[in-house]
Amino acid sequence: MLEKFRALRAEHAAVSAAGRDPFGVAFDTVLSATEAVLEGRRVLLLGTNNYLGLTFDPDCIEDAAEAVRSLGTGTTGSRIANGTYGGHAALEARLARFLGRRSAMVFTTGYQANLGALAALAGRGDHLLLDADSHASIYDGARLSAAQVTRFRHNDPDDLRRRLRHLSSQPGEKLIVAEGIYSMLGDTAPLREIVEVKREAGAWLLVDEAHSLGVLGESGRGLAEAEGVEAEVDFVVGTFSKSLGAIGGFLASDLDGFDALRLSARAYMFTASLPPSTVASVTRAIEVMEARPELREALRRNGQRLHAGLSAAGFMLGAMPSPIVSLPMPDRERAVLFWNRLLEAGVYANLALGPATPGGKPLLRMSVSALLTPAQIDAAVLAVARTGEALGLIGTALEAAE
Amino acid sequence: MLDEQAALREITAALEESGKLTGPVTMETSILHDLNLDSVGAIDFVMLLETRLDTVIPMDRMAEIETIGDLVRVLTSQASAAN
């Protein structure tokens, strides 16, 4: 039964042979949003997506603790079977208010939000148009739907337009799916152009703001807010596991009849709902995100500082400054070596390998938190630069990998 | 409408253009094994072909494609459906 994984096992063993298993790092403990302990040593966390650093926010922790004491550890079932707790409905109302949407529904993870939304929205005879660099949850949601799925070139509105033109004679709804910030490189979607194509084709648009919620836009509502096109985005998907520091996902919209999705999105119907503690901390995290715009400003500054520091050190960086900074690696072997050496130097980043990366190319991926101090970022830049120098990867080698 | 020989010629030309042509290509050539493309590379190559031929291949049809012959059959049927 497991024989088919022989090649995968061999690949994993080869990746792990250079040192640690990059996909199985087990911290002794986590100290804060920016530091953890690994094998008795403090390491700087530069690969957490903990954008606003809210995992240790005292108010979020207090509300979560109060909820677990008063309502228990879990709901032990789905909302359609076991019922909705007051907190679930209150969170949905609060989230809808924050997003300026008529309706919102909460899923147990961000992955499930895409699974549930795409599979329910796009049915047989409909068409899903996915950006080629979409997250796995979008691809999986598309596979679960009965719709015809078409990929368009990453961030290429003209390719999207061409494909929609081909599909124009076919019946069924067309739903375009894009992401606010793409997680691997930190680049954003050309949303205004996509909206133009959407209008021309009479299609619908869903934007996954997983990495852009709390990060982009004056109020932190994401890329659609930053680009001024929220009215043209029909569906917003997002997660609570990044800027909001917990776990869970959501779908929001202004459309009439939205609640039918509660009886058709299987990833909502057939899984246990979020526990009261998570609902409480997320509800509070939305308050904190609204009340403290300075966190978003600190995040922006930190992304710029890391980006500028690495550029000055001689690294060639692809995307514009954002909370995600990725270094393209020339090959898998040196990517693994880089990741291991960097961890030895006290910095935890993400090793990203194909097929999860654009073009299947290996990346050393870093993401910053608003709570990182300038000194911590400078220390990280120094460690990355020294590692790059030691491996002969500054300048030419990385440039060649672009 | 694209016939099989024309589709094969287009595929060969596209492989050459993308630097993936390693030898003669026949209907039996395996895309993953003989052309040294991984799954990501194969999908990107299909996207390049879609642009070149101004057609669209739905993702569910990708599962049918193992050899160049499979790709030719998908391309010829898609082209006729699109026209």
CB atoms within 10 A of CB A402: 9
Low-confidence ranges of chain A (pLDDT < 70): 318, 395-402
Q: A240 near A278, Cβ under 8 Å?
A: yes
Helix (H) or strand (E) holding A85, with range, is: none
Q: Quick one: tokens of A32? A: 């804060």
**Residue A152, pLDDT score:** 95
Cβ within 8 Å, pair A148-B82: no
B4-81 fold: 1.10.1200
Dihedral angle over CA of B69, B71, B75, B76, nearest 10? 10
Cβ within 8 Å, pair A148-B58: yes
Confidence label for B62 from pLDDT (cuts 50, 70 and 90): confident
Beta strand A324-328 pairing with A363-367: antiparallel
Rounded Cα distance, A85 and A268, in Å: 15
Distance in Å, alpha carbon of B61 to nearest chain A alpha carbon:
10
Of B40, B58, B82, the CB nearest to A360: B40
Of B38, B41, B59, the CB nearest to A151: B59
Residues of B in contact with A159 (CB under 8 A): 51
Q: Quick one: tokens of A341? A: 């050496």
Distance in Å, alpha carbon of A33 to nearest chain B alpha carbon:
34
Beta strand A235-239 pairing with A41-45: unpaired
- Residue A348's SS3 state is strand
Cβ within 8 Å, pair B59-A355: no
Rounded Cα distance, A356 and B38, in Å: 12
User: Which residues numbered 54-83 in B keep a CB inside 8 Å of some CB on A?
Assistant: 54-56, 58-60, 82
Active site residues of A: 183, 211, 242
Determine the residue of chain B that is closest to A158 in CA distance. B51
Name the residue among A336, A267, A373, A271 with its Cα closest to residue A12: A336
Cβ within 8 Å, pair A360-B60: no
**Residue A317, pLDDT score:** 83
Residues of B in contact with A360 (CB under 8 A): 38, 40-41
CB atoms within 10 A of CB A382: 14
Rounded Cα distance, A288 and A244, in Å: 9
Q: What is the pTM of this model?
A: 0.94
Determine the residue of chain A that is closest to B37 in CA distance. A360
Determine the residue of chain B that is closest to A357 in CA distance. B40
Rounded Cα distance, A245 and A205, in Å: 27
**Residue A397, pLDDT score:** 43
Cβ within 8 Å, pair B58-A163: no
CB atoms within 10 A of CB A374: 11
A3-56+293-399 fold: Aspartate Aminotransferase, domain 1 (3.90.1150)
Of A132, A148, A360, the CB nearest to B38: A360
**Residue A1, pLDDT score:** 96
pLDDT, tens digit, 9 for 90 and up, residues A315-324? 988 677 899 9
**Residue B42, pLDDT score:** 85
**Residue A400, pLDDT score:** 41
Domain boundaries, chain B: 4-81
Cβ within 8 Å, pair B47-A360: no
For the CA atoms of chain B, what is the radius of gyration?
11
A8-29 per-residue burial string, b: 16 or more CB within 10 A, e: under 16:
eeeeeeebeebebebeebeeee
Helix (H) or strand (E) holding A111, with range, is: helix A110-121
Q: How many CA atoms lie within 13 A of A295 on its CB side?
A: 23
Number of helices (H) and strands (E) in chain A: give both, helices first.
Answer: 15, 14
Average pLDDT, rounded, for chain B:
84
Of B38, B60, B82, the CB nearest to A354: B38
Confidence label for B37 from pLDDT (cuts 50, 70 and 90): confident
Share of chain A above pLDDT 70, in %: 98
Q: A305 near A370, Cβ under 8 Å?
A: no
Cβ within 8 Å, pair B56-A167: yes
Q: A118 near A148, Cβ under 8 Å?
A: no
Residues of A with CB under 8 A from a CB of B: 132, 142, 148-151, 153, 159, 162-163, 166-167, 354-355, 359-360
Residue B78 above 80 pLDDT?
A: no
Cβ within 8 Å, pair B58-A162: no
For chain B, strand residue ranges (E) read none
| Cα–Cα distances in angstroms (integers) from residue A327 to residues A93, A168, A310, A337, in the given order | 40, 40, 9, 14
Longest CA span, chain A: 63
Q: Does B28 touch chain A (CB under 8 A)?
A: no
Rounded Cα distance, B56 and B41, in Å: 17
| Cα–Cα distances in angstroms (integers) from residue A136 to residues A110, A182, A208, B40, in the given order | 11, 12, 12, 13
Confidence label for B21 from pLDDT (cuts 50, 70 and 90): confident
Count Cβ–Cβ pairs < 8 Å, chain A vs chain B: 36
Please compute the mean of the pLDDT values over residues B24-44 and round it to a whole number: 84
Tell me how long chain A is: 402
CA A210 to chain centre: 4
Greater confidence (A340 vs B25) lies with A340
**Residue B79, pLDDT score:** 53
A261-298 per-residue burial string, b: 16 or more CB within 10 A, e: under 16:
bbeebebbbebebbbbbbbbbbbbbbebbeebeebbeb
Domain boundaries, chain A: 3-56+293-399, 58-291
Assigned CATH class of A58-291: alpha beta
pLDDT, tens digit, 9 for 90 and up, residues A26-65? 999 999 999 999 999 999 999 999 999 999 999 999 999 9
Q: A3-56+293-399 and A58-291: same fold?
A: no
Cβ within 8 Å, pair B43-A151: yes
Rounded Cα distance, A341 and A254, in Å: 49
Q: Quick one: tokens of A209? A: 């703001």
Q: Supply the DSSP string of A155-224, one letter for each residue.
A: T-HHHHHHHHHHHTTS-S-EEEEEESB-TTT--B--HHHHHHHHHHHT-EEEEE-TTTTTTSSTTS--HH
Q: A143 near A128, Cβ under 8 Å?
A: no
Residues of A in contact with B56 (CB under 8 A): 150, 163, 166-167
